[in-house]
Amino acid sequence: MRRRGEERARALHAQIDELLTLRGAALRRYAFLLCGDVHEAEDLVQDAVVRVFSRARDGQGPQVLEPYVRRAIVNGSVDRWRRAGRWREREHLLVAPDRVDGPERASADRLDVLAALAGLPARQRACVVLRFYEDLTVPEISERLGIGKGSVKRYLSMGVRALQDRLGSVSGADAHVELIEEGAS
Amino acid sequence: MDLRRAMDDAADRAVGDRPVPGTGPLVERVLRRRAVRTGTTLTSGAAATVLVAVAAVALADAPPGWVAADDLGGWTANRLEIDGELECGVVVPGLGDGEVVDDDGAGADALRLEAEFRAVEYDGTDLVDAGPDLVRGQLLALDASVVNDTGVDLVAADRYGTSPTAWLAQGGVVVGQVEGPVVALGGVYLPSPGAPEPVLALPAGSARNLDHQGYVADCDRSGAPPPAGEYELLVTVRLEDVRAEDSDAEPHDLTLVTGPFALTVLDAPEEWLSPYELSGYPPGLEDVEIAPSGVVLHGGWRGPRVLLPIGHPIAELGVPTAVVVWDGEYCAGTSEPGRWVPNYNTEVRSDTPYLWPTVQDGRVTRIDGALLWTTAPIYVGRGQGTLRDAQEAVPSLALTLPADDAGIEVWTTYDAEHGTTVAIEIDTTQSIARGGAIVNVAVVEGDGYDGPVPVGPAVCDGDGDPAP
């Protein structure tokens, strides 16, 4: 029995390795936009991989597995945001997490958009990232987040408005807001 | 600004060429998680396949007569006919005397439960078939179907998901139970505004398949399996608000039942390893809890085990599956490098469970932890819940340290049996209606509690643990 277990463990290792080698960077970029912190993004990806592979995925390749992992990442990001509040009072006993901002100055747009995204509640942020970074449609976002299409439209509308309040007009987003408002009426 | 391009650029620059974390630790975590002790909905493809393949040879006869085929208003159901709920200690009529109340085939055209079962075991990565007899420590896999032969389209409420369970009886008395599925949020159903209530559709002529796998626990509440012996097994499923789909008739709450089946429970061989020993890793943090005796692994594999006892010489724990290990590199660069650290990710974060030992004179004198949960409803010791939950579970809790500037207050209770103090830190600014939220649980040697201590990397700035 132990030998069979070891063989399965090796197969599992190869399966995860292939997924992360081929798609790991893309998954971390995706997670980073959802949470705004590279360390947390790595944790989100790892947690998602653990969650997805907790069920047997024998023989499934990266193309099949990636959507599951992405779904787990976005759900994990919303859950973390929800739970974060209970932690703050204990932080004085811990070492503050280090941040990524390096000495080099990045473009203003990049910093601005990160700051603007950071100001959005988790679901709004998830909707914005899924719509404008992942290019998902409203029904696809609805399906991935497990919320109604109307909620997606509302979150997108609120999220885009909040972004525009901070960033000014953003190309591509105006048309989406109009589309959403038409659809909501 | 082009939003898509700005997001793309931001993600690229942030993630960049950062090295990809090793796959090994992830595999470890997956294997730990697969070894979870409760079979909430372990829908392992391998296990399911095995069940289907061997079902035909597993079953004892299933006389239906001791259940009632009641007329429920145009349709009947094979339901358990006892006063109250089926639970430990209940005497079940028709069991234990070797007789069948009525075996004339009544109920064949009723709403009824059909079930098969097998023992399954964890082989380090997956669940595999282990035969019809249950060796203590194996999981019991139920493959049940709600069959509607009433000729009437029925529906039932499905608020928490519908799952079968099973009961072990001896002499007509329930003495053991398959651990039930975990109900999220402590069993509180929170409907979404405007969303339809979840419904289990049971059309006429349908067979709705329901699976469940869980450890069998003795009714002595030890968490251990029942002793080796011969048992009668009942399989039940609870259905709520069952009614004809197109009628306004009064709905019924039913416990459908099938069995009894003969089940033999065997002792586990001495050389058997626990799931986490088999995997070569300590159990997942989601499966352990902080108890007055220390860090405890609950569950069916030979019952609860204290993995990290308070007061125990810690050097004896240096095995791969120990929950804490000596790390000579931890706090490197300080005047006192090396610490006993969790045998898990040592980065303490706000949103993941953590466990942190304090070691003095070579013995574990304190264990701190938080968010050690997920396998049970709110439960003191798991670092989840509110002050009121804690007080209900442990009435002897007393306020020891009033709220500090950050709103953290500490409640403690002394456990004379183990000579330890359990301290629960409450954030009074959260869950105010329920007295505040639990943010940390500590079990401390002796009678008394000095206050919060550093955990995680912060221990390098505090008083160092002595080297082993």
Residue in this structure with the two tokens 């058997």, named with its chain if needed: B272
pLDDT at A126 over 60: yes
Report pLDDT for B183.
38
In the stretch 26-85 of chain A, residues with CB closer than 8 A to chain B read 28-30, 32-33, 38, 41-43, 46, 49-51, 53-56, 58, 79-80, 83-85
What is the percent of chain B where pLDDT is above 70? 68
In the stretch 143-162 of chain A, residues with CB closer than 8 A to chain B read none
CB atoms within 10 A of CB A161: 12
Is A93 part of the contact surface with chain B (CB cutoff 8 Å)?
yes
Residue B181, classed as helix, strand or coil, is: coil
**B1/A112 Cβ within 8 A:** yes
pLDDT at B9 over 60: yes
Per-residue pLDDT tens digits for A61-101:
787 788 888 888 887 777 666 544 433 333 333 333 333 33
Is B4 part of the contact surface with chain A (CB cutoff 8 Å)?
yes
Average pLDDT over residues B151-156: 88
**Nearest CA to B208 among B139, B155, B261?**
B155
List Cα–Cα distances, A87 to B367, B412, B418, in angstroms: 18, 21, 30
Q: How confident is the model at residue B252 (pLDDT cuts 50, 70, 90)?
A: confident
What is the spatial distance between Cα B12 and Cα A179, in angstroms, rounded to a whole number? 29
Contact of A89 with B431, CB cutoff 8 Å: no
Average pLDDT over residues A158-175: 72
What is the spatial distance between Cα B150 and Cα A75, in angstroms, rounded to a whole number? 41
Asked if the ipTM is above 0.90, the reply is no
Report pLDDT for A76.
77
**Nearest CA to B459 among B350, B337, B365, B353?**
B337
Report pLDDT for B180.
59
What is the spatial distance between Cα A16 and Cα A61, in angstroms, rounded to a whole number? 9
List Cα–Cα distances, B250 to B33, B72, B243, B256, B290, in angstroms: 43, 9, 7, 18, 46
Least confident among A78-82, B57-61, B421-425: B57-61
Contact of B82 with B170, CB cutoff 8 Å: no
Three-point CA angle B147, B148, B154, nearest 5°: 130
How far apart are the CA of A155 and the nearest CA of chain B, in angstroms?
A: 17
Which residues are paired to B236 by β-bridges? B165, B257
pLDDT at B55 over 80: no
What is the spatial distance between Cα B348 and Cα A93, in angstroms, rounded to a whole number? 10
Report pLDDT for A77.
79
Q: How confident is the model at residue B382 (pLDDT cuts 50, 70, 90)?
A: very low
Give kind and range of the element (H or E) at residue B305. strand B305-309
Comparing CB atoms, the residue among A25, A51, A133 nearest residue B7 is: A133
Report pLDDT for B275.
60
Cα B117 from chain centre = 20
Report pLDDT for A98.
37
Q: Which residue has the higher pLDDT, B258 or A3?
A: B258
Is A3 part of the contact surface with chain B (CB cutoff 8 Å)?
no
In the stretch 260-289 of chain B, residues with CB closer than 8 A to chain A read 278-279
Residues present in chain A in total: 185
**A129/B7 Cβ within 8 A:** yes
What is the spatial distance between Cα A145 and Cα B250, in angstroms, rounded to a whole number? 36
pLDDT at A133 over 80: yes
What is the percent of chain B where pLDDT is above 90? 7
Report pLDDT for B52.
26
- Contact residues, chain A, for B10 at CB < 8 Å: 32-33, 106, 110-111, 113-114
Least confident among B44-48, B298-302, B364-368: B44-48
Phi, psi of B267 (to 5 degrees): -70, 150
Report pLDDT for A56.
64
Q: Which residue has the higher pLDDT, B417 or B181?
A: B417
Q: How confident is the model at residue B23 (pLDDT cuts 50, 70, 90)?
A: confident
In the stretch 379-438 of chain B, residues with CB closer than 8 A to chain A read 406-408, 425, 427, 429-430, 437
Is B13 part of the contact surface with chain A (CB cutoff 8 Å)?
yes
Report pLDDT for B94.
62
What is the spatial distance between Cα B192 and Cα B169, in angstroms, rounded to a whole number? 40
- Contact residues, chain A, for B46 at CB < 8 Å: 56, 58
**In the Cβ-directed half-sphere of B422, how many Cα atoms lie within 13 Å?**
25
- Contact residues, chain B, for A17 at CB < 8 Å: 23
**A87/B350 Cβ within 8 A:** yes
Q: Which residue has the higher pLDDT, B113 or B47?
A: B113
Per-residue pLDDT tens digits for B316-375:
776 767 888 888 888 888 888 888 888 887 777 655 677 888 988 888 999 988 755 433
Candidates B2, B3, B426: best to mutate against A (most CBs of A within 10 A) is: B3
- The region that residue B180 occupies, defined by phi over 0 for left and psi between -120 and 50 for alpha, beta otherwise, is beta
**Average pLDDT of chain B to the nearest whole number:** 73
Is A139 part of the contact surface with chain B (CB cutoff 8 Å)?
no
Q: Residues near B311 by Cβ (< 8 Å), separated by ≥ 6?
A: B363, B364, B365, B419, B445
Q: Which residue has the higher pLDDT, B393 or A73?
A: A73
Q: What is the DSSP code (8-state) at residue B85?
A: -
Report pLDDT for B419.
93
- The region that residue B194 occupies, defined by phi over 0 for left and psi between -120 and 50 for alpha, beta otherwise, is left
pLDDT at B414 over 80: yes
Phi, psi of B258 (to 5 degrees): -145, 155
Per-residue pLDDT tens digits for B105-137:
445 677 888 888 889 877 666 778 888 899 887
Does B251 sit behind a cis peptide bond, omega within 30 degrees of 0 on the bond before it?
Answer: no
What is the spatial distance between Cα B430 and Cα B401, in angstroms, rounded to a whole number? 17
Report pLDDT for B273.
64
Q: For chain A, how far is it from start to end, CA to CA, in angstroms?
A: 62
